[in-house]
């Protein structure tokens, strides 16, 4: 099995806020991440596909194809957007890094034409990242 990873970046704003909780509880839970007007991150998305290499091409998946899928399905929809307000597939989702990785998985998993989606790593800062590998 060979693992192939494509990296993509986007910038977006978000606010961590659970509407089921009071303002005070949200502030206690999320601290400054619950600030009413939100804040931004430069996200790094790394998507890994696992598979066997094609004998003909030597590829698991042509990275140009993976790049295009990430661009069309994710980056174009989230780059320079407010994740709480502007993104259809994130409606009703608290935009933690964990939840973003899971939502990206749901979209990407059926779109991968060869091999299988193995992991989605999403970094919110240099120090904080989440990896999701499916259920």
Per CB under 5 A, residues contacting Ni ion are 33
**In the complex with Ni ion, which residue's Cβ is closer, 33 or 130?**
33
Residue 33 beta carbon to Ni ion: minimum distance, rounded to whole angstroms: 5
Task: Give the single-character DSSP code of 89.
Answer: G
Of the candidates 80, 85, 98, 109, the residue annotated as catalytic is: 80
Would strands 129-132 and 116-123 be described as parallel, antiparallel, or unpaired? antiparallel
Residue 41 beta carbon to Ni ion: minimum distance, rounded to whole angstroms: 5
Residue 118 a catalytic site member: no
Residue 80 a catalytic site member: yes
Buried b (16+ CB within 10 A) or exposed e, 1-17: eeebebebebebbbbbb
Residue 41 a catalytic site member: no
Catalytic residues: 33, 80, 124
């Amino acid at each position: 099995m060979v693992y192939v990873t494509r990296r993509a970046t986007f910038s977006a704003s978000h606010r961590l806020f659970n509407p089921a909780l009071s303002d005070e509880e949200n502030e206690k839970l999320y601290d400054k991440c619950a600030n009413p007007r939100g804040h931004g991150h430069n996200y790094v998305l790394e998507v890994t596909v696992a598979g066997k290499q094609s004998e003909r091409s030597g590829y698991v998946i042509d990275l140009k194809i993976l790049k295009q899928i990430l661009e069309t399905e994710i980056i174009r929809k989230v780059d320079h957007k407010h994740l709480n307000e502007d993104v259809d597939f994130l409606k009703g989702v608290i935009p933690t890094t964990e939840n973003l990785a899971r939502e990206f998985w749901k979209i990407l998993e059926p779109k991968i034409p060869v091999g299988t989606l193995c992991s989605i790593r999403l970094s919110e800062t240099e120090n904080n990242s989440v990896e999701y590998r499916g259920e």
